[in-house]
Amino acid sequence: MSVLIRGWRNAFRNVVRSVGTIAVLALVVALAISMLLARQTVNSKIDSVKASTGTTIRVTPAGFFGGQGGGTALKSSKLDTLASIPHVTAVSQQLEQRLSSSQTNLTSPIQAGNLGGQFGGAPLGSRALAARRARQARQPRQARQARQARQARRALSPRSR
């Protein structure tokens, strides 16, 4: 009995050491539990991704590319043949067609930009392009024409590197 009492007193003789040891042990146990939970969560997510990804197979006749290529579409009578294949759980039909007509009044909901601008490198509608246009409007006409001529000569001349 005296051994147990002496051990108990010895453990708490240095309070800072005892509290530090208890804190480190608590941290280790908490991290171990969190790692086990994280592993379980990741494994369940991997299982759900395996179950739902990569299970759809599109079957088309040779030369038929989803409404964009030649050939003829797959006949409905072939669905029964596909459904009888082992491990096939569902079969569905799908018909795709792309609208290609010049007789339409559809307009784009966005304003198409100009990649890089004509010579300046700034996209259409940007602040840089607006500032450049404002500067050009303030310049005298002759200076502007001379600058445009220089830019045209640079664009037409072969560049040596």
Residues with pLDDT less than 70, the chain:
61-73, 95-102, 108-129, 139, 158-161
User: What does the CA dihedral 112, 118, 121, 126 come to, rounded to 10 degrees?
Assistant: -40
Residue 86 lies in a domain: no
For the chain, give percent helix, strand, coil, nearest 5: 50, 0, 50
Question: Which residues form the domain of 15?
Answer: 2-49
Strand, helix or coil for residue 2: helix
- The residue among 18, 34, 49 that closes a domain is 49
Q: Would 97 be classed as within a structural domain? A: no
Q: Report the pLDDT value the prediction gives residue 155, as an integer from 0 to 100.
A: 77
In this prediction the pTM is: 0.34
Q: 29 lies in a domain?
A: yes
Residue 25 lies in a domain: yes
Q: Which pLDDT belongs to residue 90?
A: 83
113 inside domain = no
Residue 45 lies in a domain: yes
Residue type present at position 137: A
Share of the chain above pLDDT 90, in %: 17
Structural domains counted in the chain: 2
Q: What's the confidence (pLDDT) of residue 113? A: 54
Position 92 in a domain: no
Is 89 inside a domain boundary? no
Q: CA 63 to CA 72: how far, in whole Å?
A: 8
